[in-house]
Chains A and B, each alone.
Chain A
Amino acid sequence: MTSITAYEAGASQLLMGNEAIARGALEAGLGFASAYPGTPSSEIIGSLAEVTRETDIYVEWSVNEKVALEAAAAASFAGVRAIVAMKQNGLNVASDFLMNLNLTGTVAGLVLVLCDDPSGLSSTNEQDSRPAAKWAELPLLEPVNSQEAKDMTKWAFELSEEIKNVCLVRSVTRVSHARGDVRLGELVSPSRQARFAPTMLGQFTPLLVPIKHSFLHQKVSKAREIFESSPFNWYTGPEAPELLIVTSGSGWYYSLEAVKALGLESSVGILKLGTTWPLPEKLVQQHLARTDKVMVVEEVDPFLEGNLKELVGDTFAILGPLTFYGKRSGHLPSFGELDPDRVMAALSSILGRERVAVEPDYAKKAQDLTGGLMQTRMIGFCAGCPHRATLWSVKNALKLDGRGGFVTGDIGCYTLGLGPTGFFQLKTVQAMGSGVGLACGFGKLDKLGFDQPVLTVCGDSTFFHAVIPALINAVYNQSNFTLIILDNSATAMTGFQPHPGTGASALGEPAPSVDIEGLCRSLGIRVGVADPFDLQDTTSKLLNLMQDDGGVRVLISRRKCALVRAKEEEKAAYKVRVDSEKCRGESCGCNRLCTRIFQCPGLVWDADSQTAKIDEVICSGCGVCADICPASAIIREVA
């Protein structure tokens, strides 16, 4: 597709929010960019990596978010403008460094982009990152669309240099993964005079803490002052609104749409805030003074709402009583993402206006005609996914072992192993690397009567991100479990980004490849390697490792992601078909192992012929199903 540097200043280009953030950074003279991939943030660094050769910037996929932030901070310390992007969970990983960096301060502009995922559309939580701004005392900007994402990011570098500290830009899925037309500005080349030159003792440390903390407060005050006249804050509506909506980020469009749909333009005003922490208190007070009803529209937590109430508490003598509506009042949900309909419902309930979203006759007809036809579409492993094959062997090995063993899970595509296409094999999922961390603990419970075999899984990218310390912990403390590394040669979940084991850099150029197998062996771990498509061999190797004498064991289940393979190779490995003479369907006694249990979307139960068949549009030609059919009815021929 068209790159983010394809167009000149003044042109309009359709950009995804994340691409717009990247373009804004380039217009600010960015020199350094780093991140660990995570939905919905990955395209920021991804689109910068695509243009690295034609610009003078440095871009890397870092091993995790903490290292990404540390690396970018070094660039800032050396006078180079830097950007770091991460999803909400990544902020937790980076926080240890961030909570010292805030006291230390920065030199060249350093922008930390936090992409939240309300409703956890691609996440294990829906954590709101904004309280981190208050916690770390760093200025916070929240764009509403691609244009503002670009403009704010560009300006965030200036703000960062003005106050000599990190500036946070907080996006959400509906901004990061929305596209909109963006009026482009000039691209600016980075300064090429990187140099680390401390001018005073302790400059690049948080020491002496109370003094640096007092400096931090001064920086926040300065940011507040700048925010008072920021062009990213504006008001639309009547002079003295019956109700004032205060909103930020994704909430702004939903509020506009709701006010328009209910015809409330003359009675409801909207204060759109782009600079949400520290609050521009004077500006906000001016607007609060002109109404007595306030509704706050934001995602996910009542962060803005709480800060407004603090301000009202501090200035009660001036503002007098105000009634607040939002998440705390129950008018808007305090979990899950918002949408225009939810805001319309809240607004109509507060102001007693009726709103009909869909004509009742039509709604009834739609329900009658489609209600009975609908099927939910569960997500599951792709056709030909190596994870399905590995978990099939896991299931069989655990059954053969018979001691009540179980699997702790981790973050990646294989998290789907919680569900039917992974045969419900994963029993826990928490944070990156937590599968092995939990296994460390389970594997030490023998003194307390625990006698179940412990298995744990992690992907290759996750292994580098957070598993290595837990694995070393297990070796040192002599824990007892088997780790299965699902090595599919990509960070598949987030869009196939390279990682330290793939032998490619962020730019797609050759890079040193860290050998997972050698690394594990160097820790004194017994390591096996299996091809998950060889079900018998994988099961037997796994069983063998599980029944070993104890300690930490590793099985590397190595097979390229089916989607990556399909991109790289024109041809499938096999042409697969079902011999309908041999397939005996329900009368076979196999309980329809292939369609009912194995659940590959390429295998379909044909109700008419009462046999299994292959959907040639979906089948990826891996041929694994031929090995599970007890009647040898699934035929694979080399394609």
Chain B
Amino acid sequence: MEGTDPLNVIVTGVGGQGNVLISQLMGSALVRAGYHVTIGETYGASQRGGAVMSHLRISDQAQYGPLIPHGQADVILGLEPLETLRVLGQYGNPNVTVVTNSRPVYPLAVAIGTAHYPSVEDIVRALEELSRRAWMINATDIALDLGASILANIVMVGALVGAGLLPLAAKEFELELQESLPADKLDLNLKAFRRGLAELKAR
């Protein structure tokens, strides 16, 4: 954990992307590894279309509150680029590390043509200037290649673990997938995780 305690991780995205599920899987794996973990989640009314954010606080020492104070994120895992930027603006600091999916989910105003989605160049520039290090991954395309866009969330966890940003070995997360997922879903999820892992290990 490079001396950061608690390690503050924010997982952000849009309702329906499986944000809550991956936070829970990462949290369970970290508890198994002996850490104290608190996760604060905002969902409820955020069905498909609303922003969904999970705050993970990981510590050797104690449990922390479910909400990370502004400006205090250590790692941001973004499932959707605009949501990544939103969280970065509020919870970022010069030392934050970002891993984000590059595939947009358009807000309704963009889909209906009354607003514009930011350009890739603007997003990349903001990510790079506001973080210590930022990676963009086309996780949705990898997931579609595996047969289901919903797997993008697991691809992203793979990338996060591949980048060494969680105090968790790949094997430990794979064990969590084995424990938590039904047998018929396991194989595809393991593949998705390993694709994400390879994506960042290769860079």
Residues of A near any B CB (own CB < 8 A): 1-2, 12-14, 39-40, 117, 121-122, 145, 147, 173-175, 177-181, 250, 253-254, 256-257, 261, 339-341, 344, 357-359, 362-363, 365-367, 369-371, 373-380, 382-383, 413, 420-421, 563, 592, 595-596, 599, 601, 603-605, 607, 615, 617-618
Contacts and interface: CB of A to CB of B under 8 A. Distances in A.
Closest 5 CB pairs of A and B: A253-B65, A122-B44, A605-B113, A358-B71, A178-B66
B43 interface: yes
B123 interface: yes
B107 A376 contact: yes
Main secondary structure of the interface of A (DSSP, over half): mixed
Given A180-B38, A359-B93, A377-B51, A14 B111 contact: no
Contact of A362 (B46, B50, B105, B130): B130
A373 B37 contact: no
Given A178-B40, A617-B140, 8 more contacts: A178-B66, A179-B27, A180-B38, A181-B35, A339-B67, A370-B85, A377-B82, A596-B113
Contact of B107 (A1, A261, A375, A617): A375
Contacts of B125: 369
Contact of A601 (B35, B65, B85, B111): B111
A382 B93 CA distance: 34
B174 interface: no
A377 B50 contact: yes
A40 B38 CA distance: 17
Given A145-B63, A617-B149, A370 B130 contact: yes
B8 to A, nearest CB: 11
A370 B69 contact: no
22 contacts: A39-B44, A121-B42, A121-B45, A145-B38, A147-B63, A177-B44, A179-B23, A179-B37, A180-B36, A253-B67, A357-B69, A357-B70, A359-B71, A362-B71, A376-B107, A380-B49, A596-B113, A601-B106, A601-B111, A604-B111, A617-B105, A618-B105
Interface string B125-140: 1100110000000001
B161 interface: no
B14 to A, nearest CB: 7
B123 A257 contact: no
B94 interface: yes
A44 to B, nearest CB: 15
B123 A14 contact: no
B67 A254 contact: yes
Interface in B177-203: 179-180
Given A39-B44, A369-B130, A379-B15, A181 B93 contact: no
Nearest to A39: B44
B2 interface: no
Nearest to B85: A370
Contacts of B1: none
Contacts of A122: 44-45
Nearest to B140: A617
Contacts of B36: 180-181
Nearest to B94: A362
Q: Which of B23, B45, B123 has the most CB of A within 10 A?
A: B45
A601 B110 contact: no
Interface in B138-180: 140, 144, 149, 179-180
Given A369-B130, A420-B108, A601-B111, A178 B48 contact: no
Interface string B26-39: 01101100011111
B78 interface: no
Contacts of A604: 106, 110-111
Given A366-B88, A373-B85, A375-B82, A380 B69 contact: no
A259 to B, nearest CB: 12
A121 B51 CA distance: 12
Contacts of A250: 65-66
Contacts, number: 200
A12 B29 CA distance: 11
A615 B112 CA distance: 12
B180 A179 contact: no
A357 B70 CA distance: 6
B186 to A, nearest CB: 13
A14 B48 contact: no
A253 B27 CA distance: 19
Nearest to B25: A1
B85 A605 contact: no
Given A178-B66, A369-B129, A378 B109 contact: yes
Given A14-B24, A341-B69, A179 B149 contact: no
Contact of B88 (A370, A420, A421, A599): A370
A180 B70 CA distance: 21
B118 A178 contact: no
Contact of B64 (A253, A363, A607): A253
B70 A178 contact: no
Contact of B112 (A39, A339, A596): A596
A527 B50 CA distance: 36
A429 to B, nearest CB: 13
B94 A375 contact: no
A563 B15 CA distance: 12
A145 B66 CA distance: 9
Nearest to A380: B49
Contact of A599 (B30, B31, B63, B112): B112
A373 B122 contact: yes
Nearest to B91: A358
Contact of A1 (B24, B38, B42, B94): B24
A91 B38 CA distance: 28
Contacts of A117: 44
A367 B115 contact: no
A414 B47 CA distance: 12
Contacts of A40: 44
A370 B86 contact: yes
A345 to B, nearest CB: 10
